[in-house]
C-alpha cells in the first residue's frame, strides 16, 4: 500500500472507532498512533511522544483557550447574562416578538465575552425563557430562538473553533477575530429578521409584553454599564491591537471576577463551580488537541492531503464546486460530530485543497474567507438533528416543550443561516474587508 | 459534543476518595490557570504603565497553563467530559453500550499509560541534558514533573471508569 492509501484506511478506522462510542480523542490517538507506526516504525513514534503532548499543552497559542473558557463560565454564573438581557429587554421587550429579539441581542453580546455556543445558549436560556413564558410566548419560537441565538457565542469572537482554525491554517488569531465580526453582526441581524417574519406569519406566537418605563430603562442601563466596559476591554482591546487575544482573555477574566464579587449568593460557590466546569471543558478540548496532533502528524506523513489536492486539480472541478462540496461535507459531519473535532480533522486536509484553488483572492483573503465559512457551517450542526446540542440544552431548560416543537422553531433560523452562507460565498469581501479597513 | 456546561449536582461528600482527589487536583489546576492569567495581566500593566513587560512572561504563562491543563485531565475523565459520538449506538442494548464504553475507557487507560511513560522518559532526558527555557533559563523538566504523573493519574482514572462502565454487566 502507498502512503495516501494507508492514510485513507486509518482515517476510516478512526471514524469506525468513533462511531463505536470510543471517545473522539482516543480514536484519533489510537488510529493516528498505529498509522504512524505502520508508516515510520515504533522508535520515531515513541520518541515523538516524549515531548509532543507537552508541546500541545504548553503551546502559546493554546493558552488563550482555558482563559476564555474560564471567563465564559464565570460570566455565566456571575449574573452577567441577566444584566445584558434586562437591558436589551427594557428597550425592545414591548415590540412584537421583542423578548426574542432581546434574547438574540443578548446572545450576541454575551458571545463577545464567551467563546462557547452551549454556555451562551444555556445561560441566556435560564434568564430569557422564564420571561417569555410569563408573557405566553409560543414554545417553539422561544426555544428555537435561544438554541439558534446560542450559536452566536461562537460566531462572534472570541471563538474557540476559530482559534483552532487559526493555528492549523497558520493565520493570525486576532485577524480572524476581526474578520468574524461583520459575519457575526450579519448573523445577529438575520436572526432578528427571522423572528420579525415568524411573528408576523404566526400571529399569537408572541403576545405583546409590557413597555418599560424610562426609570426602569435607566436602572437596567446602570446595571449594564460594567458589562459594557468589559465588552469594550475585550473586543476593543483585541480589535485595536492593544491586547493580544491571550491578554484580552486574562484582563477580561479579571473583569468578570470583579463583577462576580457583586453577584448574589455565595461567591466561593461561583468560583468553585466555574473552575470545575473550566477543568472539564478544557480537559476535553486538550485531549482532542493532543489526539488531533498525533493523527495529523500521521496524515501529513501519509501524503493524503497532497494526493487529494492534486486529484482535485487534475479532475478540473471549478473552484466553487469544490468549495460547495466541502461545505456540504461539513454540514453532514456536523450532524454527527462536535465542531472542534471536525475542524481539527478536516482543516489539515481541506485547507491545502482550498488554497490550491483559484478564487481570484490572495492567500490571506482565501484563508480568512474559508475560516469564516467553515465556522458558520460547523455551527449549523449544533442546531440540526440528530445531535443538535444547543437544542437539547435549551429544550431541557424549558422543560415542557416537545423536542419536535423546538426543532420546528429552529427552521426560520436555519433558513437565515443558509442565506448568510450564500451571501458570504458570493461576496468574500464581507469576510476579509474589515481586516483591511481597520488597517491590520 | 461540547460538555454540557451545567455540572451534575453531586454532593461533594458523596464522592469516593479517588474522585475527591481528582476533583481537588482539578480545582488546584484552576488556581494555577488563574495564576497564569494574573501573570499575563501583570505583564500588560507593566507594558502600558511602566514601559516594562515581565521578561519571558510567555514562558511562565505557557508552562503554568500546561500544568493546569494536565491537572484537569483525570477529573475530566471521571466527570465523563471526554466526548463520544452516540448517534449510531442509540438503539443498542444496555450491555452492548456498557461493553463499548468499557472498551473506550480501557483504550484511554492504555494510551494515557504509554504517554505518561514517554513523558517521564522525556522529562528525565531534559533534566539530564540541563535543558532550559530561552529567556528565563528555567529548567524545562519542572513542568514534566507534574504533567507525567498527571497522565499516570489519568490512566488510573480511566481504569476506574472502565470498571464503572462495565457495572451493568455485573448486575445482570
Rounded to the nearest angstrom, the minimum Cα separation between B137 and chain A is 16
Of B29, B37, B107, the CB nearest to A250: B37
What confidence category does residue B7 fall into, taking pLDDT thresholds of 50, 70 and 90?
A: very low
Q: How far apart are CA A97 and CA A199, in angstroms?
A: 6
Q: Which residue has better confidence, A272 or B5?
A: A272
Of B48, B118, B143, the CB nearest to A46: B118
Q: How far apart are CA B33 and CA A67, in angstroms?
A: 7
Q: Chains A, B: CB contacts under 8 A, how many?
A: 226
Average pLDDT over residues B126-130: 85
Q: Is there a contact between B5 and A73 if contact means CB atoms under 8 Å apart?
A: yes
Q: How many residues does chain A have?
A: 440
Of B66, B76, B107, the CB nearest to A22: B107
If contacts are CB pairs under 8 Å, which of residues 23-42 in chain B contact chain A? 23, 26-27, 29-31, 33-34, 36-38, 40-41
Say if B125 is an interface residue toward chain A (CB within 8 Å). yes
What confidence category does residue A213 fall into, taking pLDDT thresholds of 50, 70 and 90?
A: confident
ipTM: 0.90
The CA-atom distances, in angstroms, between A212 and each of A91, A220, A297 are 7, 10, 58
Q: How far apart are CA A162 and CA A158, in angstroms?
A: 8
What pLDDT does B6 receive?
Answer: 42
Question: Is the predicted pLDDT of residue A236 greater than 60, yes or no?
Answer: yes
Mean pLDDT rounded to a whole number for chain A: 88
Say if B111 is an interface residue toward chain A (CB within 8 Å). yes
**Mutate which of A29, A240, A242, A283 to disrupt the B interface (most B C-beta within 10 Å)?**
A283
Give the predicted TM-score (pTM) of the model.
0.87
**CB neighbour class for A196 (10 Å; exposed up to 12, middle 13-18, buried from 19):** middle
Residues in a beta bridge with B139: B132
Which of A102, A111, A368, A375 minimizes the C-alpha distance to A234? A111
Say if B7 is an interface residue toward chain A (CB within 8 Å). yes
pLDDT digits 0-9 by tens, A36-54: 999 999 999 998 898 889 9
Average pLDDT over residues A409-432: 92
Cβ distance A56 to A293 under 8 Å?
A: yes
Q: Which residues of A touch B84 (CB under 8 A)?
A: 18, 21-24
Please report where in the chains the cell 453532514 appears, as a residue.
A332
Q: Is there a contact between B76 and A247 if contact means CB atoms under 8 Å apart?
A: no
| Grid cell at residue A11 | 482515517
Of A22, A33, A275, the CB nearest to B27: A275
Q: Is there a contact between A389 and B82 if contact means CB atoms under 8 Å apart?
A: no
Q: Is there a contact between B143 and A281 if contact means CB atoms under 8 Å apart?
A: no
pLDDT digits 0-9 by tens, A290-299: 998 899 889 8
Q: Is there a contact between B111 and A26 if contact means CB atoms under 8 Å apart?
A: yes
Q: Which DSSP category does A61 fall into?
A: T
Query: Helix, strand or coil for residue B83?
Result: coil
What pLDDT does B66 receive?
Answer: 95
Q: Which residues of B touch A67 (CB under 8 A)?
A: 33, 36-37, 40
What pLDDT does A63 receive?
Answer: 85
Question: Is the predicted pLDDT of residue A34 greater than 90, yes or no?
Answer: yes
Which of A309, A222, A277 minimizes the C-alpha distance to A4? A309
| Grid cell at residue A122 | 444555556
Please report where in the chains the cell 484580552 appears, as a residue.
A248
Q: Is there a contact between B122 and A54 if contact means CB atoms under 8 Å apart?
A: yes
Q: Among all residues of chain B, which has the CA nearest to that of A397?
A: B6
Maximum average pLDDT range among A188-197, A287-296, B45-54: A188-197
Q: Among all residues of chain B, which has the CA nearest to that of A72?
A: B5
Q: Is there a contact between A387 and B76 if contact means CB atoms under 8 Å apart?
A: no
Question: Is the predicted pLDDT of residue B3 greater than 70, yes or no?
Answer: no
If contacts are CB pairs under 8 Å, which of residues 68-107 in chain B contact chain A? 68-73, 75-77, 79, 81-89, 97, 100-101, 103-104, 107
Q: Is there a contact between B114 and A279 if contact means CB atoms under 8 Å apart?
A: no
What pLDDT does B13 receive?
Answer: 63
- From A185-199, A242-256, B141-155, the region with the lowest mean pLDDT: A242-256
What pLDDT does B11 receive?
Answer: 52
Amino acid at each position: 500500500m502507498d502512503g495516501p492509501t494507508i492514510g485513507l484506511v486509518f482515517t476510516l478506522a478512526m471514524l469506525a472507532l468513533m462511531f463505536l462510542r470510543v471517545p473522539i480523542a482516543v480514536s484519533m490517538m489510537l488510529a493516528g498512533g498505529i498509522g504512524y507506526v505502520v508508516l515510520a516504525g515504533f522508535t520515531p513514534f515513541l520518541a515523538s511522544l516524549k515531548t509532543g503532548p507537552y508541546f500541545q499543552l504548553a503551546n502559546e497559542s493554546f493558552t488563550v483557550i482555558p482563559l476564555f473558557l474560564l471567563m465564559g463560565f464565570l460570566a455565566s454564573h456571575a449574573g452577567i447574562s441577566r444584566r445584558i438581557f434586562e437591558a436589551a429587554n427594557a428597550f425592545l421587550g414591548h415590540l412584537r416578538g421583542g423578548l426574542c429579539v432581546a434574547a438574540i441581542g443578548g446572545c450576541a453580546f454575551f458571545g463577545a465575552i464567551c467563546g462557547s455556543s452551549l454556555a451562551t445558549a444555556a445561560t441566556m436560556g435560564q434568564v430569557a425563557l422564564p420571561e417569555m413564558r410569563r408573557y405566553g410566548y409560543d414554545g417553539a419560537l422561544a426555544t428555537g430562538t435561544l438554541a439558534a441565538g446560542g450559536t452566536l457565542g461562537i460566531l462572534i469572537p472570541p471563538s474557540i473553533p476559530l482559534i483552532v482554525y487559526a493555528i492549523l491554517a497558520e493565520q493570525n488569531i486576532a485577524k480572524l477575530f476581526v474578520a468574524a465580526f461583520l459575519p457575526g453582526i450579519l448573523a445577529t441581524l438575520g436572526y432578528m429578521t427571522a423572528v420579525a417574519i415568524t411573528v408576523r406569519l404566526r400571529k399569537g406566537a408572541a403576545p405583546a409584553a409590557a413597555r418599560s418605563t424610562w426609570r426602569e430603562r435607566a436602572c437596567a442601563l446602570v446595571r449594564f454599564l460594567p458589562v459594557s466596559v468589559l465588552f469594550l476591554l475585550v473586543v476593543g482591546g483585541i480589535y485595536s491591537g492593544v491586547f493580544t487575544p491571550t491578554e484580552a482573555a486574562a484582563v477580561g477574566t479579571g473583569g468578570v471576577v470583579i463583577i462576580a464579587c457583586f453577584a448574589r449568593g455565595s461567591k466561593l460557590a461561583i468560583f468553585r463551580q466555574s473552575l470545575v466546569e473550566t477543568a472539564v471543558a478544557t480537559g476535553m478540548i486538550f485531549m482532542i488537541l493532543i489526539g488531533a496532533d498525533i493523527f495529523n502528524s500521521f496524515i501529513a506523513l501519509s501524503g493524503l492531503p497532497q494526493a487529494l489536492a492534486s486529484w482535485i486539480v487534475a479532475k478540473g472541478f471549478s473552484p466553487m464546486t469544490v468549495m460547495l462540496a466541502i461545505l456540504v461535507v461539513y454540514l453532514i459531519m456536523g450532524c454527527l460530530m462536535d465542531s472542534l473535532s471536525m475542524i481539527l480533522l478536516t482543516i489539515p486536509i481541506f485547507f491545502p485543497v482550498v488554497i490550491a484553488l483559484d478564487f481570484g483572492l490572495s492567500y490571506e483573503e482565501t484563508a480568512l474567507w474559508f475560516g469564516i465559512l467553515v465556522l458558520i457551517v460547523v455551527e449549523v450542526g449544533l442546531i440540526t438533528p440528530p445531535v443538535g446540542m444547543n437544542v437539547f440544552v435549551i429544550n431541557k431548560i424549558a422543560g415542557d416543550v416537545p423536542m419536535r416543537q423546538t426543532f420546528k422553531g429552529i427552521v426560520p433560523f436555519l433558513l437565515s443561516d443558509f442565506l448568510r452562507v450564500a451571501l458570504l460565498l458570493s461576496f468574500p469581501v464581507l469576510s476579509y474587508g474589515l481586516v483591511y479597513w481597520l488597517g491590520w | 459534543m461540547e460538555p454540557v456546561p451545567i455540572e451534575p449536582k453531586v454532593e461533594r461528600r458523596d464522592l469516593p476518595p479517588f474522585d475527591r482527589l481528582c476533583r481537588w487536583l482539578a480545582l488546584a489546576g484552576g488556581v494555577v490557570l488563574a495564576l497564569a492569567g494574573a501573570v499575563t495581566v501583570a505583564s500588560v500593566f507593566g507594558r502600558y504603565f511602566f514601559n516594562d513587560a515581565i521578561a519571558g512572561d510567555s514562558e511562565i504563562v505557557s508552562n503554568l497553563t500546561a500544568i493546569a491543563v494536565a491537572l484537569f485531565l483525570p477529573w475530566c475523565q471521571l466527570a465523563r467530559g471526554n466526548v463520544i459520538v452516540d448517534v449510531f449506538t442509540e438503539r443498542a442494548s444496555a450491555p452492548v453500550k456498557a461493553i463499548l464504553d468499557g472498551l473506550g475507557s480501557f483504550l484511554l487507560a492504555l494510551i494515557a499509560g504509554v504517554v505518561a511513560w514517554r513523558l517521564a522518559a522525556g522529562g528525565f532526558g531534559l533534566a539530564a541534558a540541563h535543558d532550559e527555557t530561552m529567556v528565563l533559563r528555567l529548567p524545562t523538566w519542572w513542568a514534566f514533573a507534574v504533567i507525567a504523573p498527571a497522565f499516570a493519574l489519568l490512566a488510573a482514572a480511566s481504569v476506574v471508569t472502565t470498571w464503572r462502565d462495565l457495572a451493568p454487566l455485573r448486575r445482570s
